[in-house]
Structure 1
Amino acid sequence: MKRLYPMMAILLVGLFIYSGEQKAEGSESMNQPPRDTDGAKSWEQDPLVLEVVLQRSYMDGVVTEERMEETIWAMEDFWATYDGWEVINQSDNQIIFGKEMNELSPVIKKNGYFGVNDEGELTIFDGIPENQKAIQSFFYIDTDKLESRKSEELQKGIKINSKDQYLSLIKEYEQYSISNQ
């Protein structure tokens, strides 16, 4: 919320200036359409154009980024559109929003596998582990303590089918973590 204050302050100053101009023009201005400081009618003003970046951080460590150009006619509508997002960074022509997603990323849902990398870490792969497209590693596993069935499963790769299975597998293999020894 603290990051919204600069933009809100700009809006309030703009409203204050606009209302002050209306009062200074006198009562005869009540019949005239509102004008900006450069003389343009309020509906003739150019909209604000910003690059909007949406960063989603998923529970599996994947961060996605979506970029778009947004034409803003009313700041109130703009902020309502991104309700629930946190402002990460803001400049004159760009605003970056972030959101923590309590779900698996699209890449993991589609093609995520648990396995063990060459260093012996429990790892999520994009595809089967033998392709070695690691996404995230968690902790080292003492493979000598694993049952042969579990070791084989990790070598082949365990397809991640759901958030619950993801959390369950991390918890299950954490007991074989070298740091827990």
Structure 2
Amino acid sequence: MRRVRLALILVAVGLFVGGIRSMDSMPIKASESSQVQTAGSKVAVQEPLEMEVVLQRVYIDGHVGEERKKETIWAMEDFWARYEGWELVDQQVGHITFRKEVDDLSPFVKEAGYFGLNEGNELILFDGTSDETQVIHSFFQIDVGKLESFQSQELQEGIKIKSKDQYLSLLKKYEYFSITPTP
């Protein structure tokens, strides 16, 4: 009696997993299935799918953060639901990449980002944690002759980025002083 119950449970699990697996678009590898014999019939039971998942977060400052993890997938329906709202960028056997736009500054820019000017008077976002300026992003050239002296000095020293609102406000403010190329 105990063997019959175990066999029925295995059949039910096999049908459940097999039913969900058949709904996905990923092929089943030969190593992912095994046979369970019950009362004269064979039922295929699939093993879970191992997948490397890469999550890319694209922040408003242009920085792209990447997180990698291994996942064991028992049901593709649950897997796709977990990443609802993410854009599928790449899918290969054993590997999948998702991307999401994040309406915020990257943790890196929150920690080390400064606005300033380079030698060509372009407004730049740079890493202010080292003595050597490393440009994160260049925006547009500024007519420094139009700036107030304190504004010019602030940009020469570097303006620490503290929030998304400040970042957007400074971009808008200095865009007013940008040199627009004549066609």
Q: TM-score range by the shorter chain?
A: 0.7 to 0.9
Equivalent in the alignment of 1:50: 51
8 Å Cα contact 1:129-1:156 kept in structure 2: no
Instruction: Report the TM-score when normalising by structure 2.
Output: 0.74
Q: Between Structure 1 and Structure 2, which shows a larger proportion of helix residues? A: 1
> Any idea what the Cα deviations from partners look like across 1:20-49, whole Å, max 9, x if unmatched?
xxxxxxxxx8x889822xxxxx2xx32111
Counterpart residue identity of residue 89, structure 2: I
Q: Contact (CA 8 Å) 2:24, 2:76: kept in 1 or not?
A: no
Residue deviations 1:94-149, cap 9 Å, x none?
11100000000001111111001122110111116963111001000111211110
Q: Distance in 1 between matches of 2:55 and 2:114?
A: 26
Structure 1 residues 67-115: Cα deviation after superposition (integer angstroms, max 9, x where no partner): 1111111112211211111101111111110000000000111111100
Runs of 4+ in 1 over 4 A off after TM superposition: 31-34
| Higher strand fraction (1 or 2) | 2
> What is the distance in 1 between the residues matched to 2:40 and 2:81?
30
Return 5+ residue gaps in structure 1 as ranges: 1-9, 15-28, 37-41
TM-score if structure 1 supplies the norm length? Answer: 0.75
Q: Which residue of 2 aligns with 1:111?
A: 112
Paired with 1:94 and 1:122, the residues of 2 have a C-alpha distance of 39
Query: Can you give the 5+ residue segments of structure 2 that lack an aligned partner in the other structure?
Result: 1-20, 26-37
Q: Secondary structure at the match of 1:56?
A: strand
Distance 1:77 1:13, change over 3 A: closer
In structure 1, what is the equivalent of residue 134 of structure 2? 133
Report the Cα offset of residue 177 of structure 1. Answer: 0.3
Partners of 1:129 and 1:148 in 2: how far apart?
26
Equivalent residue letter for 2:23: L
What CA distance in whole angstroms lies between the structure 1 residues aligned with 2:158 and 2:130? 6
Percent identity over paired residues = 54
Q: For the residues of structure 2 that align with 1:140 and 1:129, how far apart are their CA atoms?
A: 24
- Cα RMSD (Å) of the superposition? 2.5
